[in-house]
Chains A and B, each alone.
Chain A
Amino acid sequence: MWEQLIEDVPRFFGFWNLMFLGQALLNTLLLSYLGAAFGFALGFCLAIGRHPRLYGIAPLRLLATAYVEVFRRIPFLVKLMCVFFAFQLSGAQASLFTVALVTVVLSAAAFAAEIARAGIESVPAPQWNAAEAMNFSRWQMLSRIIAPQSWRVVVPPLFGYAVGFIKSTSIASQIGVMELTYAAKILNTRGFSALLCFGTILVVYFLICWPTKRFGEHLETRLGQRPQA
């Protein structure tokens, strides 16, 4: 088995395979980071729209809450299928990549909304009262008082989830999105050893996840420091 493996290595890391894996890596990165970026942005909007002291309008609040509660409790694969069939039913022409991206965005938004809610609520009511009594607008309260004080609560779990989404994108291989896991499957069916195919993407996944986590930690310490006046 080992002899076969060693024999395979130079052929496996040939130019075309590397191009193929590179393309897959790019898709994984796009799905994860674009998905997380849009998802987090949408999630923050949801958290703000849901908060009774910010922009909460009752029916909107109910809708946002229902969305957040439901989407956090459905497995990624099921969400993926739902989005897939939703696109089919609507008749919209969407690539498999788009279906996967929308799924990542929708689930990232639900988790980010919950994290942001916890962040907003970590700022004690007296801080709000002081700002409100001084005629701060809601946006001024949010941007000057609430957000700066909640980052430290929000950032660590956010990056925890970001790493989770990188791993979840592998599930998109189930509908045939050409990302890392799907690429490994294809190379495996072309006759390369499973150990080599999946061992390689294992290393690649780690190389994406680890710096992401480190960046989150870096941001966390940065936010802990105070700007000198």
Chain B
Amino acid sequence: MGLTFLSIQGLSVSYGGKADVLRDVSLDVQRGEVIGLIGPSGSGKSTILRTLVGLLKPRSGTVTLDGQVVDYTSRASLRGARDRFAIVFQQYNLFQNMTALRNVAIAPTLVKKRAKADVEAEARALLARVGLAEKVNAYPDELSGGQQQRVAIARALALKPDILLLDEVTAALDPELVGEVLDTIRALQRDGMTMLIVSHEMAFIREVASRVAFLDQGLIVETGPPAEVFDQPRSPRLKEFTSRILRH
């Protein structure tokens, strides 16, 4: 029987004194699940991920991770949560002043105080796993977008996260580079990595996600298995969304 691994209850987020960008969002994630978050731009998909890692402060609601409530106002609790999440951003956000290897190795050595030799061996293995064994000494601006994004995924994996958060990781890539990044994510799914994936790649979400949540204007409108959400949408808003996507 699965204890819920990550439980988001009634999460509301607002910033800049504006209306809530997330309104009363609830979502339960089991270990090993891959959740696809879909919806129009500005619907709050990315906000969920950014709130989970504490880059945005929730106004209300609770996040429970492995049975423990995360208190986002407490530095210690936030540190604990960040230890277990890893996030990959749309714009890669690799550290520009470091090589690929250093990008992957820095957090485990600096933040988690692990031995440098061990971490670097692991980092090399991770870079090889995402197909970049050759590029360990390259700086971000010497890599293509797809390569940078794969380094970013390796960097996230080096943290040994319990949950990987992928925030529109292919949105900034040239179409011919999308495939290599998606392949990397597929491999992670096969390995049983728990993931929350925000993406506009509907075919991909349909393929890898165990469940899909559709957001609109800060609300989760519908959740369900991909087949259900994509083929038998119940709400008018989701019907409209899927029909528009299918027309593409």
Contacts and interface: CB of A to CB of B under 8 A. Distances in A.
B95 A133 contact: no
A23 interface: no
Contacts of B111: 134-137, 140
Decide if the interface of chain A is mainly helix, strand, loop or mixed.
Answer: helix
Contacts of A131: 95
Nearest to A146: B97
Given A133-B54, A135-B111, A149-B96, A126 B91 contact: yes
A52 to B, nearest CB: 14
A11 interface: no
A226 B100 CA distance: 13
Given A135-B82, A136-B110, A140-B110, A129 B55 contact: yes
A145 B95 contact: yes
Interface string B73-100: 0000001001101110101011111010
B139 interface: yes
A121 interface: no
Given A126-B89, A126-B91, A226-B139, A135 B97 contact: no
Interface string B90-130: 01011111010110001100110000000000000000000
Given A140-B111, A144-B110, A229-B99, A135 B79 contact: yes
A130 interface: yes
A148 interface: yes
A137 B76 CA distance: 12
B55 A134 contact: no
B243 interface: no
A130 B93 contact: yes
Contact of A133 (B87, B97, B99): B87
A126 B79 CA distance: 19
B137 interface: yes
B137 to A, nearest CB: 5
Interface string A191-229: 000000000000000000000000000000000001011
B53 interface: yes
B181 interface: no
A127 interface: yes
A16 to B, nearest CB: 54
A134 B137 CA distance: 22
Given A144-B110, A226-B139, A229-B137, A134 B82 contact: yes
Given A135-B82, A136-B111, A144-B110, A149 B97 contact: yes
Contacts of B83: 135
B213 interface: no
Question: Quick one: which of B93, B137, B159 has the most chain A CB within 10 A?
Answer: B93
Given A127-B95, A145-B95, A134 B107 contact: yes
Contacts of B55: 129, 132-133
A131 B86 CA distance: 11
6 contacts: A127-B95, A130-B89, A130-B94, A133-B54, A135-B82, A140-B110
Interface of A: 126-127, 129-137, 140, 144-145, 148-149, 226, 228-229
Given A129-B89, A134-B82, A228-B137, 9 more contacts: A127-B93, A133-B54, A134-B111, A135-B83, A136-B107, A144-B110, A145-B95, A145-B97, A229-B99
